[in-house]
Structure 1
Amino acid sequence: MTQDLGSKPADETVEDRLDTMNATRETLEDYTLRFAPRSYRKWSTRVVGISALGGIAYLADFAIGANIGISYGTTNALWGILIFAVVVVFTGFPVAYYSARYNIDLDLVTRGSGFGYYGSVVTNVIFATFTFIFFALEGSIMAQGLELGLHIPLPLGYAVSTLVIFPLVIYGMKALSTLQVWTTPLWLVLMVAPFVYLVVSHPESVGQFFAYQGENGVKGFDLGSTLLAAGVCLSLIAQIAEQNDYLRFMPPLTPENKRSWWTWMILAGPGWVFFGAVKQIVGLFLAVYLIANVADSAGIANQPVHQFLEIYENFLPGWLAMTLAVVLVVISQIKINVTNAYSGSLAWTNAFTRVTKHYPGRLVFLGLNLLIALILMEANMFDFLNTILGFYANCGMAWVVVVASDIVFNKYLLKLSPKEPEFRRGMLYAFNPVGFGSMLVAAGLSVLAFFGGLGEAIRPYSPLVAIGLALVLPPIIAVATKGRYYLRRTDDGIDLPMFDEFGNPSGAHLKCHVCHHDYERPDMLKCETHDAFVCSLCVSTDKVADHVLPAGGS
């Protein structure tokens, strides 16, 4: 069903019109800044789930697991990984559900979960930072593989590992889903083979693993060391945002697909951490084996490409071991870095468009993200990985935990926050102190604690500072403000239901009078100035607020 209301065009300049057309053309491919309509979401739950999980093929988990184990010993590393997994599951479930159920990315979920229309710009920057930090980390690992196998100098390898990603990301979800599905079987075989070989052929390696005390000889369980290890792992908490960039394309939830929908939502949403935690443990396992059994390996034990090469050489000819190690590294790093680049371009575009009301195109920010990542690689960020990730973790935790807290406590228990997420300009206040304020306080104090600003005794506990404050502040502030800053108005002026009989976003079509394209009901608002309908993106790029509904509508 398509409805049109009025035909009077907005009083726009040629520049404004071209900007809107540019935004429309590019977002029709992957709906960069908006709700993903059911007419575009033609993939099965399985394809969406596998595509989302393809993004966690990265080898950085092996490096992270090895690094925290070498620093704090196996016992503390394992406890740290467990804390990390528990936090990710409990915070990841509500935010993954909201993206899959309402077909919007985590930025749009964040807007309506206590941050406001402009408040989530800060979280966009946090997420964009996540993507280029991890792009640089993954690209560094790929460059190490190219140097080892093909003798490509590291600086050139950094450039190659960056440039090869650009063409793969241009076509968005259509290309990424195909890439992830077809490369996953080979990746799994190459990833699992070395671990299985060691456990079967060298059973003593298991005992060595559990007895390992790290380079500093940390004996047994130590709470401070465990929390420092957990803090490094929790830098990955923002990975849920990348999972959500895929999960927003889930098909509608119906009685017919209920089982598969929930299975893949959980597995590809919070369930990603199961695979991540296993890879961290295996990375530490391989590192301990190399340190204990291979001479002069301490300096390379935390580098995944050397881990796999050394193990492959135990049961394969040298030339084949080298080939498979390089193939594994290249496949793994391409699988994750197409996701890092894609998600980073979305995050930068979201933030820039909201602040400037100008849409230069997603590819501009794809290039920017890759450039920043390349600079980090050339600066050899691999050498100070723990510090970078430990610092970043506090910001990522503050954001994701605040959103999860708002959904669980304020939406479902206290009912102070609207249950259905709102993301459209004009419907939200610019800033909401519930989420935005909570995140600033949680991130600020936890970062201060991380750098010793609250005393050395508190420093290892910075993850708990971030999580604790981010968990309790949203309901406290929501109660104090009585939830008044969630919605600027409750009526979008369109007399059509927002959801179908199963609670899925409606598939009814309406025509935008600015860009003249049809969009589905959740993406549209009434434009009172021109007595017509307008899409959310045209409202976002409206420099004079001509299409923005007045405050107070109910």
Structure 2
Amino acid sequence: MPNDAADTLLTLLHERGEDAHAATLAALLDDYAALARAKDAAEAANEAKTRFLASVSHEIRSPLNAIYGYAQLLERGEGHNPVEAGKVIRRSAEHLSNLVEGLLDIAQVESGSLKLARNTIRFPAFLRQVVDMFAPQATMKGLSLTLDAPPSLPEFVRTDPKRLRQVLINLLSNAIKFTDHGTVALKVHYRNQLARFEVVDSGIGIPPDDMARILMPFERGGGASAERAGVGLGLAITQALVHIMGGELTVESTPDEGSRFIVRLMLSQPLTPPADLPEGETPHLYLGRERRLLLIDDDPAHREALRALLEARGFRVKSAASGEEGLAQAGDMQLDLVLLDVSMPGMSGWETAALLRQRHGQRLRIVMLSGEAQQSGPEENGAPVNDVFVTKPFDFAVLLDVISQQLGLEWPQPPTSAKDDAHAALPTLMVAEARPHLDEIARLVRIGHVRAIEAQIDAIAALGPQAAALAERMRVYLDAFDLKALAALARTENGT
């Protein structure tokens, strides 16, 4: 009903004293308006998703093209550096994997089911790898792509590398897409464990009316930006990820001059460097006796690649192409751990794991490797048949960390320098300020009050930059639930 007619009818009902009928009509009109708004919103969402489906194929083709092109160069032996080609292929595959997973991330964010990891990464190398991934695209457009990072950046920081990479990839990809000439730069600042990432471009900019809309799922800016290919998920996912990681995303832009996307995140520094060594160095071998691993996977390329990586670390590795073959090999050798694919022809990974558990008991560690969403399988005597589930594709360093934890491996560490020790200890003048918190941590450790311990560690970190290293050491022990080591550290710093 037109608004004018509805208003006239309501007025007549009130004049005739039929207030009850007028109230009923008003309620019906409100319901009608709400339905109309819902219909408009649904139609807008459907249109946005239609645009999304039409453009997603283009976004997937870019990394696929890089993989396909470099693979042909290697196959033909046309003189391209195979190591560099391998790096481009791997990073493009990671980018493609992140793009595909981005289609699922929005649902996970909205449901609150997205979980973050807390791993140690080599910060400068990580940043360089992300920027290098986009070097060919920038070169093709004639753009200057730079990484502006001070030499004082810490070598290692702790974060979720997958999600941080996804944030930076989304921002750099957008900057290059919407810049036709000039520069794109990733600027990084780090102070007191606060990292600030700025992706700055000299592109077409963002109109003020589009500033809020571009951060919504399946939406893109209007005007010139609407003509550029894009899925319409990148910035929405980026904002959601930054918020989940406890950070902040802000945007500054001037039409026809460029944009600046700023991400602020807390990235703490680890107590000790990871077992993985810098590129170019010989990998460390774990300490102690040789560990025996069985890799069961029907994909021969996956088996050979993973076998080579593990043998370089000192593991003795056997492989099998099926569950039946794996069970036979497991009976012929004393195994420490099995890496087991889930989806295989014939006997599935879960069935294989159940039989391995029956025959070898809990002593044998079983790690499932799969790209399937289901991360739990059957149980044996009330307990899961596997110990850990690792989702494909995975970073080898992550898998190595899982294996180390499952087998309790020790890795040689470089000696700690006196400089590092001095940096980790509290200055004498600060001990008095920290003493109440250190005493309270020692008390809380005795009762196992983890959340309260974490609050006391945060209070120590708030004392100033000089206390940040001690707080990080304590968080490492707390994350590992090594309360004994945490209490000992508190006593040492307290001078007791």
TM norm structure 2: 0.27
User: Higher strand share goes to which structure?
Assistant: 2
- Greater gyration radius: 2
After TM superposition, the score normalised by the length of structure 1 is 0.25
Higher helix share: 1
